[in-house]
Amino acid sequence: MERLQKVIANRGYCSRRKAEEYIKEGKVFVNGNRVSELGLKVDENVEIRIDGKVLEKDEKVYILLNKPRGVVSTVKDEKMRKTVLDLIDTSVRVYPVGRLDYDTTGLLLLTNDGDLTNLLIHPKNRIDKVYVAKIAGILKGEEIRLLKQGVFIDGKKTSSSKVRVKSVDYKNGTSVVEIIIHEGKNHQVKKMFESVGHSVLKLKREKVAFLNLKGLHSGEYRYLNPKEVKKLYAFVKNN
């Protein structure tokens, strides 16, 4: 027996967190009965419906996308903007693991594996996410120190990070900075730089755990192979 939200995630409909929202909203039916409170444990083979759709079991798939600018990291968008799913040709329902902003590019995982999604996005697992940002201004030593030790955004202090200035353009007054974080707060990298007085002009996520964008141009994607999936699970659990 497993918690209902985990079974929903395992069937690839959405992430476990989103499944919890659907349950609270009363959109989930188990064997014809509405469920609106968390905590219910069910058998893996029960009938589950969300918004009238029966959730079938799909094979697990894992997709690594080089997200381009101007695409939203959601399954569907109320403003009718292009989503990351519009870039992928698959018959299996997948969803993004976390999000990249509309104007942020780079590495994004999509899957229907709820267990792996939960492991990757949980802050306690401290999964490295490597970003490269082009910022306005020249980053000073004290500002680097503050970013490394953690800064306050939205009233909460970020975890420690790694920061390295890759290049400086004194003529145009810009810097290119690599920053490695473990969390995934909303607009986190942009807000971190803003907290020390620098706006982000461009932002790209280049790496998650050991996965990178090698061989993928903007808008291209590939499937992870079984060896990579096994390694990813091991990496998360042993990190």
How far is the C-alpha of 104 from the C-alpha of 216, rounded, in Å?
16
Find the catalytic residue in 101, 103, 113, 115.
101
Buried/exposed 152-180: b ≥16 CB within 10 Å, e otherwise: ebeeeebeebebeeeeeeeeeebbbbebb
The verdict on whether 169 is a catalytic residue reads no
Q: Contact, 229 vs 219, CB < 8 A?
A: no
Tokens at residue 181, please? Answer: 């974080």
How far is the C-alpha of 191 from the C-alpha of 199, rounded, in Å?
8
Catalytic residues: 101
